[in-house]
Amino acid sequence: MGNGAPRWDLTAMSSAYCNIATATATRDAVAINLGVTQSGDRAPAEVKPELLHRILLAPRAARHLHQVLGSLLGEYEAQRGELR
């Protein structure tokens, strides 16, 4: 990778919008679950999120993602106000 961001091979890439995320960790990996929930006019107890992606990260990659997201969210909140 050297200096800067890696040059990604985008041939197999797909994109998905997610509005819900959870994470768990074991000794060997961090699992991030990404999904979407469409509540409409249903009661919260009736809403079942659709799991779109489960991403397993090595702990070092999870630490790096944590740092990157923290920086990005700090910039976002500085421009648009604190997320609640």
Quick one: pLDDT at residue 6? Answer: 85
Residue pair 59/29 in contact by the 8 Å Cβ criterion: yes
Give me the sheet containing 30-36, strands edge to edge.
Answer: 20-25, 30-36, 50-57
Q: How many helices (H) and strands (E) does the chain have?
A: 1, 3
Average pLDDT over residues 28-39: 93
Question: Using CA atoms, how far apart are residues 18 and 80, in angstroms rounded to an integer?
Answer: 20
Quick one: pLDDT at residue 47? Answer: 77
Quick one: pLDDT at residue 44? Answer: 66
Quick one: pLDDT at residue 48? Answer: 87
More confident residue, 37 or 42: 37
Distances (CA, A) of 36 to 9, 30, 39, 80: 26, 20, 10, 23
Quick one: pLDDT at residue 41? Answer: 63
5-33, pLDDT tens digit by residue? 789 999 999 999 999 999 999 999 999 99
